[in-house]
Structures are given as structure tokens and as C-alpha cells.
Amino acid sequence: MSTHAELQVPSLGKVTVPVGIFINNEWSPSSFKETFATINPATGEKQLDFAHGSAADVDRAVKAARKAFKTTWGNNIAATERAAALNKLADLMERDSDKLAALESINSGKGVRIARDADVADSVACLRYYAGLADKFFGQTIPHFGKEKFVYTLHQPIGVCGQIIPWNYPLLMWAWKVAPALAAGCCVVMKPSELTPLTALVLCDLAKEAGIPAGVINTVPGLGATTGDAISRHMDIDKVAFTGSVVTGRRISIAAAESNLKKVTLELGGKSPMLVFDSADVEEAAAWTAMGIWFNSGQDCCASSRVYVQEGIYDKFLAALKKKAETVAIGQPHDEATSFGPLISAGQRDKVLGYIETGKKEGARVVTGGQKWPKSGGGFWIEPTILADTTLDMKVVQEEIFGPVIVAAKFKTEEEALELANTTSYGLAAAVFTNDARQATRITAALDAGTVWQNQYALLHAGVPFGGFKQSGIGRELGTYGLEAYTQVKAVHQNLTQTVEWPI
């Protein structure tokens, strides 16, 4: 197979894109000569064939990464040089913003305007944030030892890191992984999702153009069970970072433990609750809730997929939310007006429809939506859906649906609201809507979630940490905390005057 292919893209015309494996700044086909295909979520048609990386390809990538780590990256160059390379890559992403947005849109189904103004822009901001942090991650000097010894810590890059990213934000998840890893001095072996490998591969060429040395970023497309597993089990990968489902996260964690006990960080699923109190502005709460559940068509780990409304305003809130559902900008990805596109695949679409049916059977009331979008054609749209009057024991309340379906219920007291919110194995995000400042602070302290939004939802920033309590994950990404995942602490004891008595 060739390492490149042609793709017809609205607004770009015919584009040549990479579909091979990127190791040591060079393209190659899979050692198996095997491929896998991607589907256009807006049409259901086959899009491209990509190289399916084998364990041997992963091994080759690891060797390239290890070599770079020992010679041209890591602490072999100054942190300011790593920073300059990341900034240069950010510049190139900005230069190619329209192209990247169009490719992201056609591969993932996102509206092209959103891909450009959110996904590409936020990815660039993430790279620039970590470029600025690279030379500012200090160790400590620990001065308690007087004349006896000089003690300090070094924050050293972990080494070769495997990174496995999902299909819901292909470009942004790439930036969240690559930026801190490279800033810290690590080299990566990246497996993009087999549903959306396109932009990750295009970025490899930009990385090369930015002057990032060969072997620092290696990309091996493939499937989880094969390529992903090879990464999780590789004996010379020092750390694996994964974003995706709890089920897969568990598998990766087990594989890491069974192989070389490599460090593991996980960003997994969520079933994040919104708590809307009587004092809240109902229109404002409905607007943010709509953003929280229908942005990216609900395919977001921190989607506000449960909403609990104080009984006094329950009906008013549902009416307001229904209006938002009915005025969502649903449409074709290439249309600039679209901000609600199809789900990523037939499988996901059917899974969501399955949950809606289950919800109905369990007694939930469909306030709006609940079906395929009539204009779907061959694509995978589902209408924004509200399931009301749900109870804690329902499947649709406990399990992550990962689609544009929100479950709603009412509550009386603050204690009841917290109980409902926290009765879940997840803990990624949550929100409280209230005009009572003390209540907001109190509730925030009590919610078991890694991010709590007060009177808003969904907004993330490169400088603010993000990650899960409970089964939503291990570790934090973004912010200065995000650098910790890619460094290890070495304590140095420098003896100045201590002696050892013998026998002790």
C-alpha cells in the first residue's frame, strides 16, 4: 500500500493525505501490509484505508523514540529549545488552520466552523501553554541538612511514552497528549483512534516541518486490540497515557501491570450531573445545560448527561431545555452553520438508540428527540433527546450513553441533590446552578468530581487541570499538573561531611 492517498474535501478540493505509519520522521506502510478503513459519519460511505500498525511497527517506533530520547531530545537539549519547537508547531497549525479544520470535520463529523474555531484554536493554545511551561517546572532544594549534605530534587522526563487517544476530539486530544509530553522532554509513540486517524497523521508532517527531531513523535495507526495492546505491553515504553472508555482503560491498566509496570494515566468516561437550584436563572441554566450535553453531539467524556432540577422550577427548566433542543444547529459537517453533526459511527448511533429504547422501557418520558434525524441519509445523526422523570436505578442514568441524550429528574433538598449527583461510579465533572454563593461553595466542596463548574458548563482551558475522581480516571491533564504525568522525581543527596560508622 502507498503511504499517502487522495481525499476529496469540501472547501479544499482534492487533497493528498498521509495514511501510513510515521516513525523517525519517515512514512512507511504497515509491516503486515494490513489496512483498516474509516467511514464518513455524514454519509456512511468508506473514506480512506489506513495502515494497520503491527506489534513490530510499534517496536520500531519505540526504538526510534528511545534513540531520540537519548540523543536529540530529553535533557540533551535545553528546555527553551523544546519550547521553541512547540511554538513553531503551533505557528504551523495556525497557518494550516482551514485545512486542519476541514480534515477534522470530514473525518469526525464535527461542524467545520467548530473544528476551526474550537478544536484547532484550542489545540494551538494548548501547545503554546506547554511551550511556555517547559523551562519552569522546578525541583526543590531542601535545606534542612546544614553542613552535612546538599539535597535537591530533579524533575526528569519519564522517557518513551505511549499515547492512545479517542475519536471524539482527535486533534485536541492529540495536543493534550503531545504538548506536555514534549515540553517535559519525553518522546512519544502515538496511536490515534482507528475511527479518526487523519489529523494526527497530517500533524506529523507539520511536526517535521517545525524541526522536531526524528523519533520524538512517532504515530502508529491501528486497532486497540492489536496496536493499542502492543503499546500497553511494550517492555521499553515507560509510561502509557490513555483517553477513552472505562472498559478499555481497565484493559490498558492490566496490560501495563502485567508487562513492565509502566506508569499509567487515564482519562475515562463520565456521567456528569448538573444541579439546578430554585434561585438559579432558568434560561441561563438551560443554555449552559444545552451546551454541556449537545456540544459535539454529546460525544464528550464530561458531557452534562444528567440534570437534577429543584422541584419548584423543574417543569419550567425542561420547557426551556426543550426549546434549546428544537433550535439546535443540526446539519452537514461542511456547512459553516452546523454545530451539531452526526455521531461518529453506525455502532455508536445504534448504541445510543438502544439506550433510548431501554430508557423508555424503564419508564422515562421522552420530552423531545429520541430518534434518528429524519435528514440523516446514510449518516449517523440522532436528534437532541431529553429523557425526563428518571430514577437512579435506571440504566440510562447509571451508564454512559455518549450521545445527545440527557436524563432529568427533580429533587427537593440540597442533601438529596448531592446524593443523586454522587451516586455513580464516575467522577469527571459536575455543575451547580444557584445564585446563593455559600450554597455554590458548599456544593462544590461536596461533589465528587474533578471539575466543578459554577453557573456555567463545558468550558475548558489549557491552564486549568482536568481529570477524574473515582472511575473517571487517574491523573490530571492540562495546567501545570499536566506536566507531572510526564516527569519523574529524582531526589539527590550530595554528601558533604557525613560519615558512616562501622559496625553500625
- Report the interface residues with another protein, using CB under 8 A: 80, 83, 87, 125, 128-129, 131-136, 138, 147, 150, 437-438, 441-442, 445, 462-463, 480, 494, 496-497
- Distance (Å, whole) CA 342 – CA 350: 12
Q: β-strands 429-433, 451-454: how paired?
A: parallel
Is the Cα torsion angle 214, 220, 226, 232 positive or negative in sign? positive
- Distance (Å, whole) CA 182 – CA 74: 8
Q: β-strands 405-411, 263-267: how paired?
A: unpaired
CB of 496 to another protein, least distance (A): 5
The set of cell numbers assigned to 30 is 504497515
Enzyme catalytic residues? 267
Instruction: Indicate the SS3 state at residue 36.
Output: strand
Q: How far is CA 231 from CA 122, 238, 356, 370, in A?
A: 27, 10, 36, 39
CB of 31 to another protein, least distance (A): 41
Closer to another protein at the Cβ: 192 or 427? 427
CB of 438 to another protein, least distance (A): 6
Q: Cβ–Cβ contacts within 10 Å for residue 438, how many? A: 8
Q: Which helix (H) or strand (E) element contains residue 430?
A: strand 429-433
Complete DSSP assignment for 56-90: HHHHHHHHHHHHHHHHTSGGGS-HHHHHHHHHHHH
* Region of 333 on the Ramachandran plot (φ > 0 left; ψ -120 to 50 alpha; else beta): alpha
Q: How far is CA 29 from the centre of its chain?
A: 27
- Considering only the C-alpha atoms of the chain, give the largest distance between any 2 of them, rounded to a whole number of Å: 85
- Distance (Å, whole) CA 113 – CA 119: 9
The set of cell numbers assigned to 58 is 510499534
Closer to another protein at the Cβ: 235 or 437? 437
CB of 82 to another protein, least distance (A): 12
Peptide bond into 192 cis (omega under 30): no
Closer to another protein at the Cβ: 44 or 463? 463
Closer to another protein at the Cβ: 245 or 279? 279
Q: Interhelix angle for 97-108 vs 198-209, to 10°? A: 160
Closer to another protein at the Cβ: 134 or 190? 134
Q: Which of 358, 169, 166 is nearest to 266 (CA)?
A: 166
Backbone angles phi, psi at 458, to 5 degrees: 75, -15
* Region of 479 on the Ramachandran plot (φ > 0 left; ψ -120 to 50 alpha; else beta): left
CB of 399 to another protein, least distance (A): 32
Closer to another protein at the Cβ: 138 or 502? 138
The set of cell numbers assigned to 224 is 486497540
Backbone angles phi, psi at 450, to 5 degrees: -75, -25
Is the Cα torsion angle 19, 23, 29, 31 positive or negative in sign? negative
**CA triple 266-448-394, angle to 5 deg:** 90
Q: What is the CB-side half-sphere exposure of residue 402 using CA atoms within 13 A?
A: 19
